[in-house]
Amino acid sequence: MTVEPADQLLFTYDTLQHAEVQLDTFGRIPESEPDILPGYTVDYAEIEDPRVVERSGLGSHPILRATGNPVDKVVGRVLRVTAAEIDAADEYEVALYHRVAVVLTSGRTAWVYVG
């Protein structure tokens, strides 16, 4: 089995930080480090997809909302993942979420799922 290089950054702020969700979604626990996303706040959404509820163990998940205010910040972790793992994360996230590129406090650009 060939493993492609982890060339993508994915900012996570809740369920994708859980080891069991990472193992189920990626088949491994990716390297990660703390970072902060400015200009967003956390809201909550009810999840109706039973597959996601079963994986995460939660029926209500946090969802990011852009505020544009740099004072607002979301603390999370940046995962180093492959392009195939980004595709797997896309499948894990329900239709309430979409993936966008953001600039983190560290100056790095990463993908994140927002509402």
pLDDT digits (tens, 9 = 90+) for 11-32: 999 889 989 999 999 999 999 9
Q: What is the CATH number of the domain that holds 39?
A: 3.10.490.10
Domain for residue 59, yes or no?
A: yes
Residue at 1 is within a domain? no
Domain containing 82 equals 8-114
The answer to whether residues 98 and 26 touch, using CB atoms and an 8 Å cutoff, is no
Whether 2 is in a domain gets the answer: no
Q: What is the dihedral of CA 80, 86, 92, 97, to 10 degrees?
A: 100
- In-domain check, residue 46: yes
Q: Percent of the chain scored above 70 by pLDDT?
A: 81
Domain count, the chain: 1
Does the residue 52 lie in any domain? yes
